[in-house]
Structure 1
Amino acid sequence: MPGLSEALDDVPRVGVEPALQGELLRLAILGVSLLLVGATVLSGLEGAQLALRWLLVSLACWSFVLWQCRKRLHLNCSSPEEPDRPRRYATLGHGNRITLFRGLLISALAGFLLVAPADTSPWLLYVPALLYTAAALADLLDGRMARYQQHTTRLGAELDTALDAFGLLIAPLLAIAYGKLHVSYLLVSVAYYLFQCGIIWRKRHALPVYPLPPSRLRRYLAGVQMALVAVALWPPVPHGVTTGLGVVLMLPLLIGFCRDWWYVSGRRDVCRESCS
């Protein structure tokens, strides 16, 4: 997951087309409308207070998702052979729309952080599992759709990574609250943000930040974590199984973050030179 934030510095911040801003605004309004519908349904089934708590958190997280997209709209361009003259798109494309839909699902999931399981009907515990499972499955579609539409963008790559990290922050918090994952799994939730803070710290202190080499393993490890958390949220799955798997499966991801930090900080090259 780490390593894509450099694109924010590589592409000039030119003015964003009004049509693109208008499309994002329409999607924002659609997302708010769907969350209001969800709150109305919850209010009728579980009470107004529960629905209001859910709605406030969900709206706050949806605002965060929209902000993540808005600040990257200038990256809605391809990566052509001439890097100084990228091809810019006037629409988000289906891939980015699916990615934003994932963000809406994660925002709706976040609303359940203030909903105590003891205060709700047992059936409601299936809703967070369904939301995150759908978000994880949609993660398999957005990139494929962008490639099928020939609309792959730097915006899509950046936003996909940011929402992967956001989902792996919200969903594990809920799984830990439900007793389905050990609290140590929060290391996975904060690893991406610590990594990005480290990059920012190096830039502010005029230290070099080196690019990460391509790695399919990086994406695979993130997918394994999403699958694990999605399974853990389903009520019938025993907590003894998911807590043990969580401790085992988080180790390769954390080791991967440490390896990637050696790359971006240049320590890996220094180690190779000293060894040679």
Structure 2
Amino acid sequence: MPDSTEPFTGLPGASVPSQLHRDLVQIALLGAGALLAGALALWVVEGPVTGGRWLVGGLAGWAFVLWQCHGRLHLNVSTVDNRSFTRLGAANRITLLRGFLISATAGFPAMLPLQANAGLLYIPAVLYTVAAALDGLDGFVARRQQQTTRLGTELDTALDAFGLLIAPLFAVFTGKLPAVYLLVSVAYYLFQWGIRWRQQRGLPVYGLPPSEMRRYLAGAQMVLVALALWPPLPGVVTQWFGIALMIPLLLGFCRDWLHVSGQLGARREPTA
């Protein structure tokens, strides 16, 4: 569930430092190079078709991650005093590393079925598990270095949602999660679409009340999906856990929608 519904546009007329663009371009090239190296390895092991399919999926995922970051570069300002940072910083680089791992995972649904080499199923399990394990490290580093930014906050949320789209999709294809679990994958995007729909029609959008439960429920989904991707765990177990954990998350999204639409809670000033 999202932590905020309030759009942030940065300082009016503020330009993005050129160094930020250079940082992102360097990271983009490193990620693309790593994906190309991975595709060449798969080419050798599984053949050109499989390697090519994985590369297409991985590059599409990486392009989405970079697009999410690029559109928020103007938010690279301190959440404490609105200071502008001219470099991405270690914390945002960790967040982008998580995005790269999720992008690499995105190549595997395009490779299915993997009957010729079932051992390849361990690779997306490792990739997404590491990405999930790194969740929270970026925030910790940002606080330690006193460089907490709205860019980092929003990008972290966007990549959490992206990971819960890509990894469950692969888990559903491999029989480790039920197809209905994909409601979790699309819930965030439907929620954001609903907010934009209200804004475009001039309807008020109210802020969400603080809730630690949102973060806990989202974290529980990441742990579940990471475990479900590991081949040794039987699908009959992970599917039932998936249904049990998706219900409170979806109910939470419904409750949050009642809040942002003003149908639940105290009548507050709208955020948009």
Q: Could you state the TM-score of these two structures normalised by the residue count of structure 2? A: 0.95
Picking from 227, 234, 239, the partner of 1:238 is: 234
Check the 8 A contact 1:65/1:100 in 2, yes or no.
yes
Are residues 1:214 and 2:225 paired? no
User: Equivalents in 2 of 1:140, 1:110: separation in Å?
Assistant: 22
Q: Moved runs in structure 1, 4+ residues, more than 4 A?
A: none
Q: What is the aligned partner in structure 2 of residue 75 from structure 1? A: 75
User: Equivalents in 2 of 1:72, 1:87: separation in Å?
Assistant: 16
Show structure 2 runs of 5+ residues with no match: none
Q: What is the aligned partner in structure 2 of residue 12 from structure 1? A: 12
Are residues 1:63 and 2:63 paired? yes
RMSD over aligned Cα, in angstroms?
Answer: 1.6
User: Equivalents in 1 of 2:220, 2:3: separation in Å?
Assistant: 19
Show structure 1 runs of 5+ residues with no match: none
User: Equivalents in 2 of 1:143, 1:123: separation in Å?
Assistant: 34
Are residues 1:21 and 2:17 paired? no
User: Equivalents in 2 of 1:13, 1:2: separation in Å?
Assistant: 27
User: Equivalents in 2 of 1:150, 1:80: separation in Å?
Assistant: 9
Per-residue deviation, 1:5 = 5.0
User: Equivalents in 1 of 2:180, 2:68: separation in Å?
Assistant: 27
Q: Superposition pairs for residues 155-166 of structure 1, below 5 Å?
A: 155-166=151-162
Check the 8 A contact 1:210/1:263 in 2, yes or no.
yes
Check the 8 A contact 1:96/1:156 in 2, yes or no.
yes
SS in 2 for 1:268: coil
Q: Could you state the TM-score of these two structures normalised by the residue count of structure 1? A: 0.93
Structure 1 or 2: larger helix share? 1
Q: Share of identical aligned residues, percent?
A: 58
Check the 8 A contact 1:117/1:125 in 2, yes or no.
no
Check the 8 A contact 2:114/2:121 in 1, yes or no.
no
User: Equivalents in 2 of 1:11, 1:120: separation in Å?
Assistant: 54
Check the 8 A contact 2:5/2:207 in 1, yes or no.
no
SS in 2 for 1:227: helix
SS in 2 for 1:240: helix
Picking from 246, 250, 265, the partner of 1:250 is: 246
User: Equivalents in 2 of 1:178, 1:59: separation in Å?
Assistant: 22
Picking from 65, 80, 84, the partner of 1:88 is: 84
Shifted more, 223-232 versus 109-118: the winner is 109-118
SS in 1 for 2:107: helix
User: Equivalents in 1 of 2:222, 2:152: separation in Å?
Assistant: 19
- 1:94-153 Cα deviation digits (max 9, x unpaired): 111011011100111000011123443121010010010010011131111111111110
Per-residue deviation, 1:70 = 0.3
Aligned residues: 268
Q: What is the aligned partner in structure 1 of residue 130 from structure 2? A: 134
